[in-house]
Amino acid sequence: MKGNDFSKKISCPNFHNQYSRLLDDRKKINRSVRSMEKTIYAEDYEEHLKTLLNCQNYDLHKPDCRNCRIVANLKKKSAEILINLQATA
């Protein structure tokens, strides 16, 4: 799949709301020059991920929920790497 096409396949308003925020945070991180700004935006990014990972509507039997969880966990790992890189910079 190209780009973010996978996100269109998840049918969940909570996912789309949080995913939109994640994309905005990611753009802010990429545009930031200062290390401290990147860290702040990465922490915001992580908070939006926590919202997805702690979804009260999560249902193991729904493919959308499982896919959302996979996406959120992958993005969480990338956020942790970014935060750790910024901490060592």
Residue 54 inside a domain? The answer is: yes
Alpha-carbon torsion angle 22, 18, 63, 9, nearest 10: -70
Residues 11-66 pLDDT 10s = 999 999 999 999 999 999 889 988 888 888 888 998 999 999 999 999 999 999 99
Residue 68 inside a domain? The answer is: yes
Residue 23 inside a domain? The answer is: yes
pLDDT score, position 70: 92
Domain total of the chain: 1
Residue 47 inside a domain? The answer is: yes
Residue 38 belongs to domain spanning: 11-88
Residue 2 inside a domain? The answer is: no
pLDDT at 84 over 50: yes
Q: Considering the entire predicted model, what is its pTM?
A: 0.78
Residue 1 inside a domain? The answer is: no
Residues 1-12 pLDDT 10s = 344 566 678 999
Residue 6 inside a domain? The answer is: no
**55 φ/ψ angles, rounded to the nearest 5 degrees:** -60, 125
Residue 5 inside a domain? The answer is: no
pLDDT score, position 37: 87
pLDDT score, position 1: 39
Angle subtended at Cα 16 by Cα 15 and Cα 19, rounded to the nearest 5 degrees:
80
pLDDT score, position 6: 66
